[in-house]
A and B are shown apart, each in its own frame.
Chain A
Amino acid sequence: MMNLLWLIPTFPLAGFLILCATEGKLPKVVTACIGAGSVGLSAIAATLVGWEFVTSDSTSYSQVLWTWMVVGDFNVSISLYLDYLALVMVGVITGVGFLIHLYATGYMWDEEGYSRFFAYMNLFVFAMLLLVLGDSLLLLFLGWEGVGLCSYLLIGFFHTDPANGYAARKAFVVTRVGDTALILGLFLLFREVGTLDIQQSLDGARDIWPDGSVMNTAIALLLLGGAIGKSAQVPLQTWLPDAMAGPTPVSALIHAATMVTAGVYLIARMQDLYLLSETATLCVAVVGLVTLFIASFTALVQSDIKRVLAFSTMSQIGYMFFALGVGAWSAAIFHLMTHAFFKALLFLASGSVILALHHEQDMHKMGGLWRKLPIPFWSMLIGSAALAALPFTSGFVSKDAILLTAAHSETLGMTFWSIAVAAAFMTSLYTVRMMYLTFFGETKTEPHDKSKANMWLPLLVLSVLSIGGGWLGFTVLGTLFGDKGVPFELHLKELVAIATMCVPLLGVLVGYLLFATNVFDRRKISDSAPGKAVGRFWFVGWGFDKIYDSLIVNPFRWLARVNKSDAVDYLYRFTTLVARIFHNLLTVSQNGRLRWYALTMFSGLLFVLIVVALI
């Protein structure tokens, strides 16, 4: 059964090819069946393979499909590699991916380019599966770029608005910065280890640098650079909020559940490199910590519901990086999984709200919807509870595992822990704000709910997973990384553990008092001069966009304007100039006079004769 592994990425590829070849001429129902069905089949294949894998004793399974290229000693094969890490990722991609595709069949029904949408989505799923199943770093990189391409195509899906095109280009270019670091890291790794096969290169790295080295740290940091770009961490995080220009299912699939977690996957996959270098590991933790802190404050003041979720995604991925950095490898991957459940749920539920309000995304124009949109409301409530890590949800289990592991790490444990817990407090605060503004208070826009079973069924399944997904953690993920890293367990007794558990509840309480009651006057805080300034600062995401605009974008534009005629071109223009001068000289001889031509002919003949005679 395990040799069915190749089928998992093949189904979405086939779906993409069919939708591409038919150019949108198929009826919509057929398009929907192919688009969602291909991912569904792939999910079934993943279930079969996964069941076989879990029940067998083996810890990894690899399948060589064919040789990609051979140049001297350099040999890259297209081969798939399945272990527990890849299995979790494949489960999330195909499972959550299928639910989102199913939802999208309803959500995108009235949009232009229905078939194009599903073609891109299927291509994305294929590339993402290639990324997590690839046995060599080159195949991983192929998938890595593939998902970047699909992200670009889908952010700019509504291409008639130039702003969406700008957002798509921004996402592409900013992630390209990280990708450059990644490919440099791959070059270095190949030079040092001599192979791009993941397992062999990790073994090689352990042999060459038993105690770590500068080179090892450099490679790990370069790979981290790639991960930062893809996973929207500080300082390359600015593209993610703008990426919300894409359709909501895209935000759910690519910019919440799967693609943005590719960075987490990459670091977890190259774990051994990081275990050898304390500096790199510390960098991972700090990047995650800074991101989760900044993003959670930014989310508090956003007014666009999708931007709130975007910043919350950044901060949750920050938690995963943080967990990787403090050695809680299993907890990081576990949080990746639960986050995929509840963040997809939140995005899809908000998509239902947005659709019911005729594409209104401003939370200040929503309100009082909880009776009118019961299914989105309850789904969103469950998703929010998991996001805020309230007890008995999946988010609680995974986030507590991260925070408690951080608290127990030797060096900066408590510092790390307190910053992360402060951000957790902010998480529940902005979650309450989002829920309150959207669903409570007075109704400002009348909703028209027209969602059918294909839209509320995924919400239902994801709601169940958002609550129950936590229990999967103990059975599957406890053994994910074996004895490397910190063991995955839940503490309930210590003081730190109780504090960690109570902070989200405290956040919800404060949020309730702040937003739903008049105990504190929040207008007074937000309208005061410092409150306004801080609010503005948070609203623009701590000014990163502005810094990049003035440091990079505007100088580049200035340079492009100054160099409009392209200095390098002068060299080539000189060549054409010389050719033109000679051309003009020669045209004088083309005077149309027959006798002149005869004269040139005879003088030529004479010249040849003289030459012959002299020789």
Chain B
Amino acid sequence: MMDATGGIPLEHVIWFAITLFLIGVVGILIRRNVIFILLSLELMMNAAAVVFIAAGAFHDQADGQVMFMFILALAAAEVAVALGLVVQLSRRFKTLDIDAASEMTG
């Protein structure tokens, strides 16, 4: 166990991932700037990726690293779409404030 994660215990990695994830969540909830929301999303995804890597190393399996590759691809795709949306948002509303785009009420 010590060897697989370079001497860092799994528990520490998980606490680190949880912290990272919560920072992301709080970032999404409190920031109004779209760019920062996207950054927070990346943070949350990387938190999940860290857990995969650590768990893969812990079980001595390659699956964790495979999942990380998937998350990487997903993040790239997500950024491509999201940045398109950001461009549209700034063109239509002349702002990056996410609350400006709130016409679709129930």
Contacts and interface: CB of A to CB of B under 8 A. Distances in A.
A69 interface: no
Interface stretch (A53-61, A178-186, A522-530, A594-602): A594-602
Contact of A602 (B29, B99, B102): B29
Contact of A587 (B98, B102, B106): B106
A590 B28 contact: no
B45 to A, nearest CB: 15
Interface string A569-591: 00000000000000000111111
B33 to A, nearest CB: 11
A591 B25 contact: no
A595 B106 contact: no
Nearest to B99: A593
A593 B102 CA distance: 5
A592 B29 contact: no
B2 interface: no
A590 B29 contact: no
Given A598-B28, A598-B29, A592 B104 contact: yes
Contact of B102 (A586, A591, A599): A591
B39 to A, nearest CB: 14
Sorting the interface of chain A by its residue count into under 10, 10 to 19, 20 to 34 or 35 or more gives 10 to 19
A590 B25 contact: no
Nearest to A584: B106
B106 A590 contact: yes
Interface string B33-54: 0000100000000000000000
Contacts of B32: 595
Given A602-B25, A602-B29, A595 B99 contact: yes
B98 A590 contact: no
A593 B32 CA distance: 10
B11 interface: no
Interface residues of B, number: 13
Contacts of A590: 105-106
Contacts of B106: 586-592
Nearest to B40: A598
A66 B6 CA distance: 89
A599 B102 CA distance: 15
Contacts, number: 34
B103 A594 contact: no
B105 A595 contact: no
Contacts of B103: 592
Contacts of B102: 591-594
Nearest to B22: A602
B25 A594 contact: no
Nearest to A598: B28
Given A599-B29, A602-B25, A602-B29, A594 B104 contact: no
A590 B106 CA distance: 5
A593 B30 CA distance: 12
Nearest to A591: B105
Nearest to A602: B25
Contacts of A595: 28-29, 32, 98-99
Nearest to A595: B29
Interface string A412-450: 000000000000000000000000000000000000000
B105 A592 contact: yes
B24 to A, nearest CB: 10
A588 B105 CA distance: 8
Nearest to A606: B25
Nearest to B31: A595
B105 A594 contact: no
A199 B105 CA distance: 74
A587 B106 CA distance: 5
Interface in A283-314: none
Nearest to B25: A602
A589 B102 CA distance: 12
A594 B29 contact: no
A396 B95 CA distance: 106
A602 B75 CA distance: 20
Nearest to A594: B98
Contacts of A602: 25, 29
A419 B28 CA distance: 102
A594 B29 CA distance: 9
A197 B9 CA distance: 91
B16 to A, nearest CB: 19
Nearest to A592: B102
A598 B106 CA distance: 16
B73 to A, nearest CB: 24
Residue of A586, A588, A589, A598 contacting most chain B CB atoms (<10 Å): A598
A590 B104 CA distance: 8
A599 B29 CA distance: 6
A587 B104 CA distance: 11
Nearest to A596: B102
A594 B32 CA distance: 10
Interface in A461-513: none
Contacts of A589: 106
Nearest to B103: A592
Contacts of A598: 28-29
A598 B28 CA distance: 8
A598 B25 CA distance: 9
Given A587-B106, A591-B105, A592-B105, 15 more contacts: A587-B105, A588-B106, A589-B106, A592-B101, A592-B102, A592-B103, A592-B106, A594-B37, A594-B98, A594-B99, A594-B102, A595-B28, A598-B28, A602-B25, A602-B29
Interface of B: 25, 28-29, 32, 37, 98-99, 101-106
12 contacts: A587-B106, A590-B106, A592-B102, A592-B104, A592-B105, A594-B37, A594-B101, A595-B28, A595-B29, A595-B98, A599-B29, A602-B29
Q: Which 6 A-B pairs have CB atoms at the shortest separation, nearest pair first?
A: A590-B106, A592-B102, A587-B106, A592-B105, A592-B104, A593-B102
